[in-house]
Structure 1
């Protein structure tokens, strides 16, 4: 049984898991959830896999559900050790990867939440301006930390190729400018890595998938499944 990833659009953090799957070379399928369509998020098959109706959600090759971006990314790296997406446990490289990925998954991702909350607020909700100020402060503080982490380095956790941490950076840092929270030009190391990622075939493939455009896989992509076609976990 091949792996199946449930991802959401638009601009979901599941972007990272699609890119990691493409880099891994593992056989996989995708199932799409439209985040702005409540019926899609409440589909019975999706809820059977993740009752929280959050993406990404993975059905592993063994048919078991695996939830949360960090767990999914580490799982994929471990299943494709020859691809260099992660590192052996107990090594300094693994510790750095875990630290950086944890920062991205918690602190950096969470920094955007007040801005998302503000975007959903009623026009007369005076809290929206406060939420945006909070997001601006938190996002810029996080970008400054990432700038320090990338000084003198080609990638966040590796010197030779992008890892799962870089995939998650690509998925989340792209929110900063559209939400008018930060200018990436103020963080040249971050901007450099993001620009390099945008030239990567796996990242370009992932953008095409999100945008619903023809996408040519150089990995193991086997096509999309409708939510009705998902093989539900036993029990």
Structure 2
């Protein structure tokens, strides 16, 4: 069977993994999940008790959660090194370093902003505090990432890798939360523009919006969440 990636909308970090599957060019399927609706139904906990995306149903029918774990699954199957690098190489080490930073401190910096935005019982004073703190954290993490990246077109090499996939799903949150102008970070801004222009990223974004774009042909269609829960929800 083809692996099935469960990705979330709107503005899910999992969008980058859809692009990664496109770059890999191996057959896969998708499941599009409304993170503000379907994902909050108690039944979703049968798939991921932490109520998050992404989730991967592997080609063996195993359920795998967490971005880094799914990234490792992809890396192990990238025999042609389309989105990764030779094991133990300098490029592989750098890719892992960047992925780890982006998936931890960089992504977590946005948590106060999401909390303020999605608060079930709005509290203006708390929301203001969360927003102020969140913006300062996001700016600081962007400063650090700007220092870490080089002058290349992508994070590691002259082609996009898993590190770019992990970044692009989260980088657009800067605009979602109107934190600061991208141009404040020239290297990141240029990288973001390169990724936005990429066909696989555009494909992933259009799927998020509910459109039916023509991708590389690797995607073999969508599977309904109900069907996945029935078959793989423990």
| Separation in 2, partners of 1:134, 1:6 | 31
Q: CA deviation at 1:68?
A: 0.4
Specify the alignment match of 1:86 in structure 2: 84
User: Are the equivalent residues in 2 in contact too, given 1:74–1:86 (CA < 8 A)?
Assistant: no
Deviations 1:158-203 (A, max 9, x none): x220111111211111011221212111111101011111111100
TM-score by length of 1: 0.92
User: Are the equivalent residues in 2 in contact too, given 1:24–1:219 (CA < 8 A)?
Assistant: no
User: Are the equivalent residues in 2 in contact too, given 1:73–1:164 (CA < 8 A)?
Assistant: yes
Work out which of the residue numbers 191, 197, 200 in structure 1 matches 2:198: 200
2:150 pairs with 1:134: no
In structure 2, runs of 5+ residues without a counterpart are none
The 4+ residue runs of structure 1 with deviation greater than 4 A are: none
Deviations 1:26-61 (A, max 9, x none): 111111211111x444363x4333222211000011
TM-score by length of 2: 0.92
Residues 117-196 of structure 1 correspond to what in structure 2 (within 5 A)? 117-121=115-119, 122-157=121-156, 159-196=157-194
SS of the residue corresponding to residue 96 of structure 2 reads: helix
In structure 1, runs of 5+ residues without a counterpart are none
Specify the alignment match of 1:6 in structure 2: 6
| Separation in 1, partners of 2:36, 2:25 | 31
| Separation in 1, partners of 2:223, 2:155 | 33
Q: CA deviation at 1:145?
A: 1.6
